[in-house]
Amino acid sequence: MAGQTPPPISPPPLTGGLWASAQNLLATVIAIVQTRVELAAVELEEEKRRLLAVMGWGAVAVLMACFSLVFLALFVTVLFWDDRVVVLGAITVLFLVIGGLAWQRVGKLLTGTGGLLSASIAELEGDRKALAEAAARVAGQPRPPMQE
């Protein structure tokens, strides 16, 4: 036993070759890009929240402007007191039409919005899974576990 030499250490066998290594590298790069896109989506979400806060204060400003319009309408009504019913009716119809158009526009702006960059993230995830599966097939290894 003392005279025996240990068996030679050989490097691990190369499975899959250069093509599998390139696919693994590309899968890693796509995973990195996906992470960056998800980070960008988070940052855009934060920016959206800031924008919503600005819009909230803008809504307060608009509300104050509406109060000003109401007092202007009262002023015009008092100014033309003899025709006050016609003046109040015309101003009311004008305000209702403008409010209805604004409400319709808000509804159109709010409908049909998906997740921020969700299509891009889904495409990158699909690309990453396809490349990982192809690399595993070339290397003869079982399919690697995917993060969900």
Cα–Cα distance for residue pair 141/132, rounded to 1 Å = 11
Cα–Cα distance for residue pair 125/37, rounded to 1 Å = 11
Q: What's the whole-model pTM score?
A: 0.42
Least confident of 23-27, 63-67, 116-120: 116-120
Taking only the tens place, the pLDDT of each residue in 76-135 is 888 888 988 888 888 889 888 988 898 888 888 777 666 666 666 777 787 778 777 877
Alpha-helix runs per DSSP H in 1-148: 17-79, 84-110, 118-139
